[in-house]
Amino acid sequence: MRAPTAGAKLREKMTAALAATGIAGAEFDEYETEALEAACAAADRGEQLQVVYNRELRNNGNPNTLARLSGEIRNCERQRLQFLDRVKLTPDAPKSARHQRAVNARWQRRDRANAPGPVEGVS
């Protein structure tokens, strides 16, 4: 049997983390699912590149090749983290009543300042 890929491990971790939130019926929405799939694909690419990098390193590979592979591996890691940042495991915290009052006061001031003045009649 083949060992699970980095992407499969990541998917398992994220699914377990979602289940651990304790929110009944919680599931990833379609955007989060796409982001998770992209993160898993980036993890798999990074893992494949790491195998090539290790092989080159064992065979005293060309330093330019090693540098390029290293850069691509870092890029895959960065992409994975960026995609995972789009996956929310918990709902956003509700805004406090104080925060909402302050925002509403600003909007009301703006609306009063931008309200049209009285229209003068034409004689």
- Two structure tokens written together for 118: 């009285």
* Low pLDDT (below 70) residues in the chain: 92-94, 121-123
Distance CA 9, CA 55 (A): 23
- Two structure tokens written together for 38: 């992209």
The CA-atom distances, in angstroms, between 64 and each of 61, 70, 71, 72 are: 9, 10, 11, 12
pLDDT of residue 97: 84
Distance CA 70, CA 10 (A): 21
Arithmetic mean of pLDDT over the chain = 89
Torsion from C-alpha of 86, 89, 90, 92, nearest 10 degrees: 0
Rounded to two decimals, the pTM is 0.69
